[in-house]
Amino acid sequence: MEEYRRRVLDTVLDDLQPALRAVVIQGAKGVGKTATASRRARTVIRLDREVERTSFAAQPELIAELPGPVLIDEWQRWPESWDVVRRAVDDGSPRGHLLLTGSSAPRGATVHSGAGRIVPLRLRPLSLVERGVAEPTVSLAALLAGEATITGESEVRLTDYADQIVATGFPGIYDEPARTRPALIDAYLENLVQREFAEQGYPVRKPQVLAAWLAGYAAATSTTTQYSRILDAATPGEGDKPARSTTIAYRDVLSGLWVLDPLPAWLPTRNEFDRLASTPKHQLADPGLAARLLRASASSLVLGRRDHLLGPLFEHLVALCVQVYAQASNAAVSHLRTRNGDHEVDIVVEDIEGKVVAMEVKLTPTPTDADVKHLRWLRQKLGDDLADAVVVTTGPRAYRRPDGIAVVPAALLGP
């Protein structure tokens, strides 16, 4: 067996699982949910196997007697399993006894809320730290606490970041030779279009239109482009475009499958921010999916005809990493944009105390005053609520500028 890559979520689970009666690990296919959960289980019930599914459905009450922790893998293959766990919690199941992995239930399945009983945790594709690209020297938790030491050297360069983008953070793809990855990503996307929609109760009559819509969404990576424009980009020159209800279904199913991971708009409850926009920033589960949908290779991102995509895809990679790290601090990740677009901050991290870390993402190794103007504006607005301001770069060194804004290479940022 291949060596397990420890995930940032493992640290969260180390803390929470023993105290909770039931935890569900959610995320897109291929992110490693089963690998992470099964290492914590004594009993594994794999519902994607018909024999185990049939056996469990015949006597679900035995879940209370099995050696725990008990993992119900791919729970959505028998949606009633969710209610089995919910009832077990109501009946006093021991803490730390129940784990689930999977995605949303198929359309038409009746699943009662697990609110207050089953705690959801998101597993995303591998961050740069989890890939072992470099040893992180700047902690997001320390940034939120206002106690970060900004130091460190990185040998990761622009071309390396391009390689990391196209490699994806799906463990089963990332660990394969570079020459085989494009075929594996194509297979992932083909399965998504041809099979997973049907499994969710949404058979696709025109798979090519869905594939084109996905490519249009990928082209809008790290922007707030309207969905109508994404549809227009996906069906240029076509008078018979899919109905709005069809494209809404695309979005809803892809969200339910955790394939879309949009960055929500930051909407604080402060009067001086009443002009903020509320549109999410478009991002897929992994920037490598977007790169492949747009037929971008690492070399074409750096030097070729796809070089205009490198900035948005690098921002997507950083946002993915920040969301992984923020989970360890129980912090929320979003973006900021005023309605008229005069101020934008790429990433806003806010903890439960209301402390904020603001981040701009830049390809340049050495940011200028122009690159930090929005961070300075936000610092004036927030005052002491701004714990720190950071420019995440592709450069070699972490340091503080004379204005106090931190400059941190993406590879050196960690949880």
Which domains does the chain possess? Answer: 8-122 (3.40.50.300), 128-414 (no CATH)
* pLDDT at residue 268 in the model: 79
**Position 390, amino acid:** V
Across 350-357, average pLDDT: 95
- Whether the per-residue pLDDT at 232 is higher than 80: the answer is no
Mean pLDDT computed over every residue of the chain: 92
Across 379-406, average pLDDT: 96
Six-digit token pair at 128?
């740069």
Entry pTM? 0.94
More confident residue, 335 or 338: 335
- Whether the per-residue pLDDT at 165 is higher than 90: the answer is yes
Do residues 114 and 82 lie in contact, with contact meaning Cβ atoms separated by under 8 Å? Answer: yes
* pLDDT at residue 273 in the model: 76
More confident residue, 338 or 312: 312
- Whether the per-residue pLDDT at 269 is higher than 70: the answer is no
More confident residue, 240 or 176: 176
More confident residue, 117 or 18: 18
Do residues 150 and 406 lie in contact, with contact meaning Cβ atoms separated by under 8 Å? Answer: yes
* pLDDT at residue 245 in the model: 76
* pLDDT at residue 239 in the model: 61
* pLDDT at residue 276 in the model: 85
- Whether the per-residue pLDDT at 57 is higher than 70: the answer is yes
| Residue 349 bridge partners (DSSP) | 333, 357
Residue 153's SS3 state is strand
The rounded distance, in Å, linking the Cα atoms of 34 and 123 is 10
* pLDDT at residue 271 in the model: 61
* pLDDT at residue 105 in the model: 62
Across 289-300, average pLDDT: 96
Long-range contacts at 230-234 (CB < 8 A, ≥ 24 apart): 230/282, 234/209
The rounded distance, in Å, linking the Cα atoms of 44 and 67 is 10
Across 381-402, average pLDDT: 96
**Position 413, amino acid:** L
Across 11-18, average pLDDT: 96
* pLDDT at residue 13 in the model: 97
State percent of the chain over pLDDT 70.
Answer: 94
- Whether the per-residue pLDDT at 249 is higher than 60: the answer is yes
Cis peptide before 79 (omega within 30 of 0): no
How confident is the model over 70-121, as pLDDT tens digits?
999 999 999 999 999 999 999 999 999 999 998 776 665 555 555 678 999 9
* pLDDT at residue 111 in the model: 57
State percent of the chain over pLDDT 90.
Answer: 78
* pLDDT at residue 228 in the model: 80
Across 245-263, average pLDDT: 90
- Whether the per-residue pLDDT at 300 is higher than 70: the answer is yes
How confident is the model over 193-217, as pLDDT tens digits?
999 888 888 888 888 889 989 999 9
Across 45-56, average pLDDT: 95
Across 53-61, average pLDDT: 94
* pLDDT at residue 394 in the model: 97
Sign, CA torsion 210/211/215/217? positive
The rounded distance, in Å, linking the Cα atoms of 246 and 252 is 10
Mean pLDDT lowest for which of 125-129, 133-137, 251-255, 401-405? 251-255
Residue 115's SS3 state is coil
Across 375-383, average pLDDT: 94
* Polymer length of the chain: 415
